[in-house]
């Protein structure tokens, strides 16, 4: 098993998208990239902690590659909007790839360049790519939020 961590707006919809990828064995929503230890949802929503809402994806590389996960990431959100996705605004909703190895970082950067060159995005991609720091698991009521409510997505 390996892990990948993505921020692409509200973590509920991002988690739902990755849960449907063959080869993904688990997903956990949480907070990453900020300065406060053990932040709560309320802390993160102040836009003062620096954390992003993220989904940590556990996957089997023999069944799904990191490159394929990156393809999903580019498809499920607009990486050209700074600190917002749809109606959600704030740094916690930023587009971000948090890497767990130098290989992931190189692959993420190359993938970002390909996505920009593809012509799919008119504006520049603003996705940050940074090494993963401490991942803080979100409160239990956020885990598999949409699934537990019988919803497929929360995107507009």
Active site residues: 10
Contact 60, 1 (CB under 8 A): yes
**Could you tell me if 42 and 101 are in contact, meaning their C-beta atoms sit under 8 angstroms apart?**
no
Sheet strands (E) in the chain: 2-8, 24-32, 52-59, 84-85, 88-89, 95-99, 128-131, 136-137
The encoded tokens of residue 122 equal 């008119």
């Amino acid at each position: 098993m390996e892990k990948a961590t993505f921020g692409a707006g509200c973590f509920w919809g991002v988690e739902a998208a990755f849960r449907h990828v063959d080869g993904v064995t688990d997903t956990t929503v949480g907070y990453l990239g900020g300065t406060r230890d053990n932040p709560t949802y309320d802390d993160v929503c102040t836009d003062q902690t620096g954390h992003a809402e993220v989904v940590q994806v556990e996957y089997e590389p023999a069944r799904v590659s990191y490159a394929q996960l990156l393809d999903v990431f580019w498809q499920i959100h607009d990486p050209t909007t700074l600190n917002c996705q749809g109606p959600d605004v704030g740094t916690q909703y930023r587009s971000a790839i948090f890497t767990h190895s130098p290989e992931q970082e190189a692959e993420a950067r190359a993938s970002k360049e390909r996505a920009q060159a593809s012509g799919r995005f008119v504006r520049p991609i603003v996705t940050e790519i940074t090494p993963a720091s401490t991942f803080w698991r979100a409160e239990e009521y956020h885990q598999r939020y949409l699934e537990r409510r019988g919803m497929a997505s929360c995107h507009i």
